[in-house]
Amino acid sequence: MTSSSSTAPASNFLRTIIEQDLANGAYAGKRWSGRPGPASVQQQGGLDAARIRTRFPPEPNGYLHIGHAKSICLNFGLARDFQGACHLRFDDTNPEKEDDEYVNAIIDTVKWLGFTWESQDESNLYYASDYFDYMYGFAQALIRSGNAYVDEQTADQMRATRGTLTEKGTNSPWRDRPAEESLALLQEMRDGKHPDGSLVLRAKIDMASPNMNLRDPALYRIRHAHHHRTGNKWCIYPMYTWAHPVEDALEGITHSVCTLEFEDQRPFYDWILNKLADLGELARPLPHQYEFARLNLSYVVTSKRKLLELVREGYVNGWDDPRLPTLAGLRRRGYTPESIRLFCERLGVSKADSRIDYSVLEQALRDDLDPKADRRVAVLDPLKLVVTNYPEGQSELCHAPRNPHNPEAGQREFPFSRELWIERDDFREDPPKKYFRLFPGNMVRLKYGYVVKCTGCVKNDDGEITEVHVEYLPDTKSGTPGADAVKVKGAITWVSAAHAVQAEIRLYDRLFADPHPDAGDKNFLDALNPDSFQAVQGWIEPGTHADPDSCWQFERLGYFVADRIDSTREKPVINRAVTLKDSWI
Ligand code: ATP
Ligand code: MG
């Protein structure tokens, strides 16, 4: 595990549990053969060198989002901090929606976040679909031991006989059929002799259980569907709640961490594992499931279905659109792996559901970039400034720190000349109260340059201001003895028109204008922010190489990154990652 963090990780209830388990030697005798497998395989292995095993188990049916980052940082972080291993497992048991495109994107993203599933001689990258043969064998073992049966009821009948929270369910007429019959029918299901939905393999637990999840839950259903890895080999697929504990146990997972909505499934998780261990199929010690609160972030949607709709219907430009809360989108927007890990650390881990404000994510990015991003000047809404008493064709260098927090990074230099670009908003013909920037008669400092006095402006026939005129005070250059002789209240940024580099600057804002776009029965599409994207032609400080992924703080404006797909040195394309201050409060 590579992610380095300067401070000791904050404690949480999972760390406490793991510390206790390690102190009690709960997993001290666990064997690991170096690969996933049932008891017969693991018993051939030596003692597991990994003190704990966790896993991150995405379903490859979409791109990872910021909520997944919480789970990734948690699971990989626990393994790292307790000298364990964290597996990346593709939970690909649901053929229709899964695809290799997603597998590859997920691998890229977890690596980008700074985590690895490789430790010493082990690569813990797994696919649940590799366990289908084991699962089938385990299902047969459950039938033989009287713990499962093939049900012929229709889906409607099963729903009707399941009971309710206040009423018991009723047993299926097929519940007590001989094991031989169920075994033969399961084989026929597998052989493709039955249509989708006609037969189901169910666990035989208790139709009167107060926990609805224990009322003979389904294990296998028939799906004549092509799978992205196993092709047409299977036409029965395991239910998630049956597959998941089995996957964990085959991989020797010790702490299986999932989100709170699976809490009610834990008894079934334990039932499955204990039955299979009693039958000698799975090795003990068995994995345990623990639940934590998922991340709910304001101003975004994270449901894969909704993200897919935004992408498919063209509300955004692909899965890595910088406005999306996908990790690919955040990356393109300018988020660093460090900022996302910092955000996840700040979230902590708890069992109480809460909603985190989007500004917490933005602040993590500022806090990460502030000490390390080089400063630059850029002008996004350019207005020409003419220094009328500065000779035409002349220029001189001005100096500015690369990063004020880090004097050792040294200085950057850029030219001053007669014609400059400034922000249109830095000039007002009729200034409001407390406006300290340029207006006729006022003096400001051109940051890192001279104090100038505004002498007027030029307008076109439509009355738009096309030029602002100033005179500079030659003895006031920043860094010279005369710099402080003239006191001014405002300082504005600028770039030399003849030297600045033109760039397309993409100004992104929140995709949704509503903090809870999909709360209640709201249609999240109604909450789209119409002003979430704007591209402008701006000017950036000369010498700024917009190689993909380079990032800077543009003074007064925010943190910006060269777009990793579209930017080149010749044609810079730059994204605004985050403004300097929260503009949404
Ligand atoms: P969706 O419901 O949108 O399809 P999912 O939870 O089913 O998402 P998976 O690919 O199954 O997506 O998730 C992989 C892992 O990430 C799971 O262990 C899940 O608990 C975790 N996870 C998903 N969303 C969040 C979230 N918002 N906060 C924390 N963990 C999450
Ligand atoms: Mg899921």
Give the pair of three-digit tokens for residue 59.
């379903």
Closest C-alpha to ligand 1, atom 10: 58
Distance (Å, rounded) from C-alpha 216 to C-alpha 206? Answer: 6
326 pLDDT above the threshold of 90: yes
Could you tell me the pLDDT band of residue 52, with boundaries at 50, 70 and 90?
Answer: very high
For the ranges 112-121, 151-160, 320-329, 496-505, the lowest mean pLDDT is seen at 112-121
61-103 residue pLDDT tens: 999 999 999 999 999 999 999 999 999 999 999 998 888 999 9
How many other CB atoms sit within 10 Å of the CB of residue 34? 14
Distance (Å, rounded) from C-alpha 422 to C-alpha 420? Answer: 6
Contact assessment for residue 112 and residue 327, using Cβ atoms and an 8 Å cutoff: yes
Q: What is the pLDDT of residue 83?
A: 95
Q: Which position among 31, 51, 59, 177 bears the catalytic label?
A: 59
Binding site membership of 244 for ligand 1 (Cβ less than 6 Å): no
CA distances from 523 to 153, 294, 306, 357, 556 (A): 36, 22, 10, 20, 37
Q: What is the pLDDT of residue 49?
A: 94
pTM of the model: 0.94
Could you tell me the pLDDT band of residue 9, with boundaries at 50, 70 and 90?
Answer: confident
Binding site membership of 294 for ligand 1 (Cβ less than 6 Å): yes
309-319 residue pLDDT tens: 999 999 999 99
Q: How many helices (H) and strands (E) does the chain have?
A: 13, 31
Binding site membership of 59 for ligand 1 (Cβ less than 6 Å): yes
What is the homologous superfamily of the domain 381-498 according to CATH?
Ribosomal Protein L25; Chain P (2.40.240.10)
- Residue 55 Cα to ligand 2 midpoint, Å, equals 14
In DSSP notation, 85-105 reads: EEEEEE----GGG--HHHHHH
Which residues sit with Cβ closer than 5 angstroms to ligand 2, an ion? 59
Q: Is 59 a catalytic residue?
A: yes
* Max CA distance (Å), the chain: 102
Q: What is the pLDDT of residue 584?
A: 61
Average pLDDT, the chain: 95
Binding site membership of 451 for ligand 1 (Cβ less than 6 Å): no
367-417 residue pLDDT tens: 999 999 999 999 999 999 999 999 999 999 999 999 999 999 999 999 999
Mean pLDDT within 231-245: 97
Distance (Å, rounded) from C-alpha 317 to C-alpha 133? Answer: 40
Distance (Å, rounded) from C-alpha 293 to C-alpha 480? Answer: 57
Q: What is the pLDDT of residue 96?
A: 86
- Ligand 1 atom at minimal distance to the Cα of residue 302: 3
Domain boundaries defined on the chain: 13-131+239-297, 133-237, 381-498
- Ligand 1 atom at minimal distance to the Cα of residue 59: 10
Q: Which position among 168, 294, 372, 556 bears the catalytic label?
A: 294
Q: Is 294 a catalytic residue?
A: yes
Note the ligand closest to the C-alpha atom of 308.
1
- Residue 89 Cα to ligand 2 midpoint, Å, equals 12
Contact assessment for residue 382 and residue 405, using Cβ atoms and an 8 Å cutoff: no
Binding site membership of 344 for ligand 1 (Cβ less than 6 Å): no
- The three state secondary structure string of 195-222 is CCCCCEEEECCCCCCCCHHHCCCEEEEE
**Topology given in CATH for the domain delimited by 13-131+239-297:** Rossmann fold (3.40.50)
Mean pLDDT within 315-341: 97
Mean pLDDT within 260-288: 97
Note the ligand closest to the C-alpha atom of 62.
1
Note the ligand closest to the C-alpha atom of 326.
1
Q: Is 506 a catalytic residue?
A: no
407-457 residue pLDDT tens: 999 999 999 999 999 999 999 999 999 999 999 999 999 999 999 999 999
2 pLDDT above the threshold of 70: no
**Topology given in CATH for the domain delimited by 133-237:** Glutamyl-tRNA Synthetase; domain 3 (3.90.800)
